[in-house]
Each structure stands twice: as structure tokens, then as C-alpha cells.
Amino acid sequence: MGKLNGEGRFVADQVLAKHDENYMPPEVAEALAKSAKARGENGEGTGTSSTY
């Protein structure tokens, strides 16, 4: 919802956005990358390894 201001422009009370299932805000992606780096992970797989 929203309303027109004195200049005739629509001013929204709330903005809703829809993204696909792969969307990740840049701030979240950066935080995850920093966390993985701090743990010494290379970003591949689940961070665990097994040798058979």
C-alpha cells in the first residue's frame, strides 16, 4: 500500500520483493565466505572429508 505525495509521486509504505531460490543478499554471501575462510574451508562440498 502507499499514497501519492504532494508532487504526485507514489510513496510506498512497504516494498515486497520476490527472488528465485538461488538469491542470496550480498551481505550474507560475504559473511558466509568469511566464516568458511576462518574455518579453513575451501568452499567445496560440506567441509568434511573421508578417505576410503
Tell me what pLDDT residue 19 has.
73
> Which of 28, 36, 30 is closest to 46 using CA atoms?
36
Place 1 in a pLDDT band, splitting at 50, 70 and 90: confident
What gap in Å lies between CA 30 and CA 36, rounded to an integer? 10
Tell me what pLDDT residue 43 has.
53
What gap in Å lies between CA 31 and CA 52, rounded to an integer? 33
What gap in Å lies between CA 31 and CA 44, rounded to an integer? 16
pLDDT digit string, tens, across residues 6-46: 999 999 999 887 778 888 889 999 999 999 999 887 655 55
What gap in Å lies between CA 33 and CA 13, rounded to an integer? 34
